[in-house]
Amino acid sequence: MIEKYVISSSSKCIKANVLQRTLIKVQLKMEVWTKLGRVNSFLQQNQIKEDIQSCHEGISDCLTHFQLVSHMEIHTWQEEFAANAAIDHQEVIAQLSDIQESQMLLQDKMDTSTATVMQMMAFLQNALSENRHTADITHNGLSANLYELQQHSKSLLPNLNLQSGEVIRIGNFPVSGTAAMDIYEGLYLNREKVSIKIIRAVNSNEDSKRRFMREVKVWTDLWKIDGGRHVLPFYGFCQTDGPFPYMVSPWQPHGTALQYVKKYDLGVDYRKMIKHIALGVQVLHDMKVVHGDIKASNIVISPRFEPLLADFGLSQIVEDITGIPFTQSRGVSDSYRWFAPEVCKGQGVLSASSDIYALGMTIIELFTHQQPYQKIKHTTEVVIRREKGELPERPSEPRVLQRGLDDLIWGLLEDCWKTAAVDRPRIDEVIARMSWE
């Protein structure tokens, strides 16, 4: 009997010790939660939820050993916990969609690490997805606060697959476009006017989604390196808004480079402009990225009146998704005047050297305000003559010379147009020869 009593008492002591350790563990976790602060409480609410669940399970196990709780009570608690967790989550969403409340929360995060800011942005973007079809005031508030945080952090959204209403189209008709794409005006996070480029050469499907997702890292790395100084920033893509996918970039009010030089002409510093364009090409080539379709219509003018390369990487996306070489895909025949000879043969492989050739054609396009080989009407004839080694005629009009097309620049262009790709200068050599600034 004494032995049984000792064993029983010992067992009870063990159980009591287990319960005590469990309660201490809960107390320590609660102390950590109380020190998180409002913002981190929002960010870590899922972890807190899991911790509460874990603690309750531990207590429940101990109480079960002491036969102090029933399965019905546990079930009731779980239902109440789930309901309360849902209410807490909606309260968080309501706070984050309130402009004044969120401004204080967002300001608190400005001095914290980039990782924490990105975590906050991801939380807001997920909330935006959850509330896409809710009342406008909630969705608009979340959008506005996400935009403010993005502007302060000078970063892209964590998820560039824009399928949560981050972008809305303005108007039913495109404002401009090419044979391969239509361009619409759009509104980004209810705050910024953007350009929506619908790619008609590609359908919205799983293949296009996978290809866009592979490009995301390139676009993100480019933003980190360039920050929108030489290459048009990329805000994301969407393929759930119509039959064709589209890409989103900030709206540039001054139009394309060709529109700009035609409007301002001698008010433009042409030498500075073409060097800035070359620096953009250098950014891409240093990242082992081929633009593939350099021409004045694919260069836009920023609010700072500087040229930005646009639509880089589009050629590779079209090729990978359609399985058709970009040079043979629909809508690109207009680009043949800028294409290097090797691009128009066989599979038409694009390269850094073909970018250099196209850059040379773009420079003469800007100086003359005319497309390359302006006196030749048909594109097919351009291809034939170029194959024979015929280059564009050197302009002699006083107006063109006044813009700065001198012997130095013409010699550079002739080297960019070498028939053999290996004979063309690399982009760093091109920039070195632009020694005027």
**Are the CB atoms for 255 and 300 separated by under 8 Å?**
yes
Q: How far apart are CA 231 and CA 250, in angstroms?
A: 11
Report the Cα 340 to chain-centroid distance in Å. Answer: 29
* pLDDT, position 8: 47
* pLDDT, position 434: 95
User: In the structure, how many helices (H) and strands (E) does the chain have?
Assistant: 16, 8
* pLDDT, position 418: 95
Structure token pair of residue 265: 């002409």
198: closest CA among 226, 167, 230, 220? 167
Taken in order 59, 63, 64, 70, is the CA torsion positive or negative?
negative
Q: How far apart are CA 36 and CA 97, in angstroms?
A: 21
pLDDT in tens, the chain (437 residues): 444 444 445 555 555 676 677 778 777 877 777 777 666 776 777 777 777 877 777 777 776 666 555 566 666 667 776 766 666 556 666 666 665 555 665 566 555 567 778 888 888 888 887 776 655 777 788 888 888 888 888 888 999 989 888 999 998 888 887 767 789 999 999 899 999 988 876 777 787 777 788 888 888 899 999 999 999 998 988 888 888 888 899 999 899 999 999 999 999 999 999 999 999 999 999 999 999 889 999 999 999 999 999 987 676 676 666 656 666 655 566 788 999 999 888 777 889 999 999 999 999 999 999 999 999 988 889 888 888 888 999 999 999 999 999 999 999 999 999 999 999 999 999 999 998 76
222: closest CA among 320, 167, 288? 288
Q: How far apart are CA 294 and CA 284, in angstroms?
A: 12
Residues 6+ apart with CB under 8 A from 218: 287, 289, 313
Q: pTM to 2 decimals?
A: 0.77
Q: How far apart are CA 422 and CA 33, in angstroms?
A: 63
Kindly state the DSSP code that residue 38 receives in the 8-state scheme.
Answer: H
- The 3-class secondary structure across 293-307, one letter per residue, is CCCHHHEEECCCCCE
**Are the CB atoms for 301 and 255 separated by under 8 Å?**
yes
- Bridge partners (DSSP) listed for residue 247: 197, 237
Taken in order 284, 290, 295, 298, is the CA torsion positive or negative?
negative
**Are the CB atoms for 39 and 120 separated by under 8 Å?**
yes
* pLDDT, position 5: 42
Report the residue count for the chain. Answer: 437
Q: How far apart are CA 68 and CA 64, in angstroms?
A: 6
308: closest CA among 318, 298, 322, 317? 298
* pLDDT, position 7: 42
Q: How far apart are CA 229 and CA 232, in angstroms?
A: 8
Q: How far apart are CA 417 and CA 424, in angstroms?
A: 7
* pLDDT, position 359: 98
Count other C-beta atoms under 10 Å from residue 384's C-beta.
Answer: 13
In single-letter form, the type of residue at position 408 comes to L
DSSP per-residue codes, 64-131 = HHTT---HHHHHHHHHHHHHHHHHHHHHHHHHHT-HHHHHHHHHHHTTS-HHHHHHHHHHHHHHHHHT
Q: How far apart are CA 350 and CA 339, in angstroms?
A: 9
